[in-house]
Amino acid sequence: MAAYTMRRILEAIPLLFLITIVTYLLMSITPGGPLAVYLHNPKVTPAQIQALEVQMGLNKPWYIQYFDWLWALLHGNWGYSYFSGLPVMKLIGQRLPNTLILMGAAFILSLGLGLPLGIYVARHQYSFRDHALSFFSFFAWAMPSFFFGVVLQTVFAVDLHWLPVSGMYTAYGPHTFLDLLRHLILPATVLGLGSLASWSRFVRAGILDVLHKDFIRTAHAKGLSERVVIVRHALKNALLPIITIIGMDLPGFFGGAVITEQIFSWPGMGRLFLSSLNNRDYPVQMAGLLIGAMLLILGNLLADLAYGFLDPRIKYD
């Protein structure tokens, strides 16, 4: 498995290289630019704008700018933000852990509720509870995250005063785990709602697909309890197609954090990436896109490795 993992990592390098080329090209041909904010400022002269272009290297062709950025990246330098002037690595170090906390909480919520809900309704097929979950799933898929977030803020923060409206910690208060948890509930719910709905449906479909297989009837004939049959036999086989969905949703948590963090003023990569889009901050944009691409590759790799863990017939040698 170690050789397979290393081979997959090496195969991901040219893919990442291609992704960076395409994204850098698209950013370069987009109208405007990092200096667009100065063009309509009467206090900034054309000579000053030209000097800034030379200083930032924006007067070079896009492919020269790209290879300059790539060469610096290979040497551990992610560049400097055009907007704040700070090193991009420093900005990522400040924001990425906060986004990973939010993503982790949303993932645990989706998986921790999606699996038991899917198993439960599969055992009660076509019952009222099954139809209720189906309605909830389609409702969650159709619900825009920005609207759902505002609704939760209005109900639980403004009206009931149960939870804070936004932020990661209480202002001027102690940064305790309990305070973090209170601030985490609403954004994690919004970020994980879509995955919770879809994963529960896929678990339901996977369980129903194997419930009538011969090995399930054999397990019942051996006198095993219903819980053991479902968890040890049915669920393990039903999870194989679901693992793919979970792996593909991993970068979706990172992308969904862009909207969720903006709604709840969560100081993470999502807000940083959105502000970089507004300010045409190319180095920060490239960092966010590169991290998203790496998460997509990592999600697929973890899904492939999980196949071998769940099904011993799958070999990677």
* Separation CA 280–CA 299 (nearest Å): 29
Highest mean pLDDT among 90-99, 191-200, 203-212, 272-281: 90-99
pLDDT tens-digit map of 143-174: 888 898 999 999 999 998 899 998 899 887 78
In 153-213, which ranges are continuous DSSP H helix?
A: 177-210
The chain-wide mean pLDDT, for the chain, equals: 85
pLDDT digits (tens, 9 = 90+) for 28-63: 877 777 777 677 777 778 888 888 888 878 888 888
Least Cα distance to 271 among 256, 292, 290, 293 occurs for 256
Q: How many CB atoms lie within 10 A of CB 43?
A: 6
Q: Are 68 and 57 in contact (CB under 8 A)?
A: yes
Q: What is the DSSP string of 68-136?
A: HHHHHHHTT---B-TTT-SBHHHHHHHHHHHHHHHHHHHHHHHHHHHHHHHHHHHHTTTSHHHHHHHHH
Pick the residue with more confidence: 108 or 139? 108
- CA distances to 169, 261, 298 from 174, in Å: 8, 21, 35
CA-based nearest residue to 257, from 266, 246, 248: 266
Whole-model pTM: value is 0.85
Domain ranges of the chain: 2-74, 88-310
Taking the C-alpha atoms of residue 316 and residue 2, their distance in angstroms, rounded to an integer, is 9
Q: Between vectors from CA 143 to CA 137 and to CA 145, what angle results, nearest 5°?
A: 120
User: pLDDT tens across 221-259, in order?
Assistant: 888 787 888 877 788 777 877 888 888 888 888 888 888
Q: Average pLDDT for residues 295-310, to the nearest whole number?
A: 81
CATH architecture, domain defined by 88-310:
Orthogonal Bundle (1.10)
pLDDT value at 101 more than 90: yes
Residues 306, 317: Cα–Cα separation, whole Å: 15
How far apart CA 225 and CA 290 sit, in angstroms, is: 48
Assigned token pair, 256: 């969904």
- Does residue 33 sit in helix, strand or coil? coil
